[in-house]
Every structure is written in structure tokens, then in C-alpha cells.
């Protein structure tokens, strides 16, 4: 089968691209700081992939392990995983020129994607033991985006310049899917029931979708939405994401399992972008000026890494710990973990380099 050239990744999802060869680096010393929130107090650690200019965490599991990617100012991206004890491993498949680790499940299995020198893109799954499996659907360029606790993976592949969703079983069987009417499909999350969420393009408009375990689709849009982008689904089937209205203001939303949609905005924000939801229904994401956590009751706490700039939250685990990135005074981008004080002992019991 003929392979096309460089992948055309949709701008909204253009954040990232993984399989084999793990390089072990020294553990990074953690730094703790007082919380900046007015309530729901938390403490922070920062970390940096050794010898790399920028560190971008993407996902955190219940054990506080973090997956993401890193870069030098003049080089391509490399995947990394920061273990629960604080040790950082680089992840680069042989032949990879661009590696992104996107998600990590409860057991420590990681998904992502990588690019070869010919610009061809492959998805991957890395087992907790460090064994990689490459994901290519029918020879097409493939990006793995999310993994559930059983190891079932979702993402998308590109065929004839169109994106299609896929689900890969734990045995490696892959099925393709598209919501009815879709001309491009972008799955972004999967839960343990194998419910898959994401967005799809139809007649120039992005709509949200959820695909249940029987393969049935439901399409949805918050009231007033011109473009809808679901980002994460929890164990109960609650979805979070964001949408754009006619005034080009971006709002957050939470959709219940039965379809009721609640919209919200971070304080003083015209751009509210939730990225992740945990089993307690808490979401994290970013407003116009600060990162935030919103609990199930709708209370929102904004935060910034103490002394940092441009704090970006990407993922929240079931204990309420958030990971993301921030800039420091030296011009570097560092990773952080924000942990509620109620779980400090559980976190410090992992050692985290201390």
C-alpha cells in the first residue's frame, strides 16, 4: 500500500506524535511550595527532564506517574514518563524523529505516537514493563490518543486526507468508526466501559460525540455552540470539554451520562478550556489567565505554580492531583504536580526523589 507524506494534523489537536527504547535518567529533585488557592489547599512540586529545555506533562495516573514529552530549543520532541518515585525515563522508538507520550493508565501503560524521518506517523502502546507495540491501521498514519485501565486504546488514523476514529483491543484487534455524517473524526478519550468521546466534522462544524460500548453514537452540542470539542470522559460516563459561541468566546461544559449539559466559565475568563475529568467529577483546565480545578458541585479554584508564569493544566487523577507545565524566570518550561493537602502523605510515601 502506498504511503502518503507528512501527516496533516488538525490545528486544534496539533500538540503532539512513539514506540521502543527507554533511556533511564537520574531522578529529579522535587521542590515544594505553598498553595496559591484561596481554599482547597494544595502543595506543588516541579520537575524537569534532565538536559532538556522544555517539559510538557500530559497525563497523570492514580499512582502519580506522569507521561508527556520534552524538547530542546532546537530539537524535536521526545516522550517521557516520570514514575511514582520521581525517576524520569525518556521514551524514543528506534528511528523516531518526533515522539509524544499522550496518556497513561492506572497500571502505567502509556500511549502516544511517533514520526519517522520520512514523516510517517505511527501510534504506540508501551506496557508498564517498557515493551512497545506499534499501532498502524491498514498501513495508514495512526495517532493513539487515550488508553483505559484495561489497556483498550482509542485515537485516529488518516486515510485519503480524512481522519477516522479507531479502537484497539488488548489483543491488538483494531476497529474503525465514524459518527454518522462525519467527514473527519477525532477521538480524545475512552473510559473503562469502552465509551469513547471526541469531536467530528460535518458541514464545516465540529460536534461532540459519545460512542457507547455497543458502538451506538450520540451527537451533542451545548446550547449556542458553533464548534464543540469534548476532551475527557470519566468512569461514570460524565464528559467535559469546551465550545465556541458566536462571539468567539470559549466556554467549558460538563455533560452527564444521560445527556444534560452544564456550561461554565473560569473567573474573569473569555477562554475556558477544560482538559481532564476524574472519577469524582472534578475537572481541570485553563482559563484566560490561570489554570483551574472545578469540583462536582461547580466550585472553581484558580491557581498558578508559585512564582511561575503561563501555568497550563493538562490532567487530573482520581485523588485530585493535577499535572501540567509552567515557565520559570530562566525561560524554561517545567512540569508540575499539584496535590491536595489531604493526599500529601500518600504522595510523599512514593518518595518522589526525596
Residue 341, domain member (yes or no): yes
| 58 Cβ contact partners less than 8 Å away, ≥ 6 residues apart | 16, 66, 67, 68, 69, 100, 101, 102, 103, 314, 315, 323
Q: What is the pLDDT of residue 1?
A: 27
Whether the pLDDT of residue 8 is over 70: the answer is no
Tell me whether residue 53 is in a domain. yes
Length of the chain: 354
* Entry pTM: 0.87
Q: Which of helix, strand or coil describes residue 323? A: strand
Please write the tens of the pLDDT for every residue from 315-347: 999 999 999 999 999 999 999 999 998 877 777
Measuring CA to CA, which residue among 88, 85, 86, 50 is closest to residue 68? 88
**Domain contains 6:** no
- For residue 168, is pLDDT > 50? yes
Q: What are the φ and ψ backbone dihedral angles of 265, each rounded to 5 degrees? A: -135, 140
How do residues 40-80 score in pLDDT, each as one tens digit? Answer: 589 999 999 999 999 999 999 999 999 999 998 767 899 99
Q: Say what percent of the chain tops pLDDT 90.
A: 80
* 16 lies in some domain: yes
Identify whether 354 is part of a domain: no
Q: What is the average pLDDT across 154-160?
A: 96
The verdict on residue 199 lying in a domain is: yes
Q: Which residues pair with 184 in a beta bridge?
A: 201
The per-residue pLDDT for 74 is 66
Per-residue pLDDT reduced to its tens digit, 113-129: 999 999 999 999 999 99
The CA radius of gyration of the chain, in Å to the nearest whole number, is 19
Range of the domain at 309: 11-348
Number of structural domains found in the chain:
1
With bands split at pLDDT 50, 70 and 90, how would you rate the model's confidence at 139? Answer: confident
Look at residue 179 in the predicted model and tell me its pLDDT: 98
Of 289 and 10, the structure prediction assigns the larger pLDDT to 289
CATH number of the domain enclosing 206: 2.130.10.10
Is 4 a member of any domain? Answer: no
Average pLDDT, the chain: 87
pLDDT in tens, 194-203: 999 999 999 9
Is residue 270 included in any domain, yes or no? yes
Amino acid at each position: 500500500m502506498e504511503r502518503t507524506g507528512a501527516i496533516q494534523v488538525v490545528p486544534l489537536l496539533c500538540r503532539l506524535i512513539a514506540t521502543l527504547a527507554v533511556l533511564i535518567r537520574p531522578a529529579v529533585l522535587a521542590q515544594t511550595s505553598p498553595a496559591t488557592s484561596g481554599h482547597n489547599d494544595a502543595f506543588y512540586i516541579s520537575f524537569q527532564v534532565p538536559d532538556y529545555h522544555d517539559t510538557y506533562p500530559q497525563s497523570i495516573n492514580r499512582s502519580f506517574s506522569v507521561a508527556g514529552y520534552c524538547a530542546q530549543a532546537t530539537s524535536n520532541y521526545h516522550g517521557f514518563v516520570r514514575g511514582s518515585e520521581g525517576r524520569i525515563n525518556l521514551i524514543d522508538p528506534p528511528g523516531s524523529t518526533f515522539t509524544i507520550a499522550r496518556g497513561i493508565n492506572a497500571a502505567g501503560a502509556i500511549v502516544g505516537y511517533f514520526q519517522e524521518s520520512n514523516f510517517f506517523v505511527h501510534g504506540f502502546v508501551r506496557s508498564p514493563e517498557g515493551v512497545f507495540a506499534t499501532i498502524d491501521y491498514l498501513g495508514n498514519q495512526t495517532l493513539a490518543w487515550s488508553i483505559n485501565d484495561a489497556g483498550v486504546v482509542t485515537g485516529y488514523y488518516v486515510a485519503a486526507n480524512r481522519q477516522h476514529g479507531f479502537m484497539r483491543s488488548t489483543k491488538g484487534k483494531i476497529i474503525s468508526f465514524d459518527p454518522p455524517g462525519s467527514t473527519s473524526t477525532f477521538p480524545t478519550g475512552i473510559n473503562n466501559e469502552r465509551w469513547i468521546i471526541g469531536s467530528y466534522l460535518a458541514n464545516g462544524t465540529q460536534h461532540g460525540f459519545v460512542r457507547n460500548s455497543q458502538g451506538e453514537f450520540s451527537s451533542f452540542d451545548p446550547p449556542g455552540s458553533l464548534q464543540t470539542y469534548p476532551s475527557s470522559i470519566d468512569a461514570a460516563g460524565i464528559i467535559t470539554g469546551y465550545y465556541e459561541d458566536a462571539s468567539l468566546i470559549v466556554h467549558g461544559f460538563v455533560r452527564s451520562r444521560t445527556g444534560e449539559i452544564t456550561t461554565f466559565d473560569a473567573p474573569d475568563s473569555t477562554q475556558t478550556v477544560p482538559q481532564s475529568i476524574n472519577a469524582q467529577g472534578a475537572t481541570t483546565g485553563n482559563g484566560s489567565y490561570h489554570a483551574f480545578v472545578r469540583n462536582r458541585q461547580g466550585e472553581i479554584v484558580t491557581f498558578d505554580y508559585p512564582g511561575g508564569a503561563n501555568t497550563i493544566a493538562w490532567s487530573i487523577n482520581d485523588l485530585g492531583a493535577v499535572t501540567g507545565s509552567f515557565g520559570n524566570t530562566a525561560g524554561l518550561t517545567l512540569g508540575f504536580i499539584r496535590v491536595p493537602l489531604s493526599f500529601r502523605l500518600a504522595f510523599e510515601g512514593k518518595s518522589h526523589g526525596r
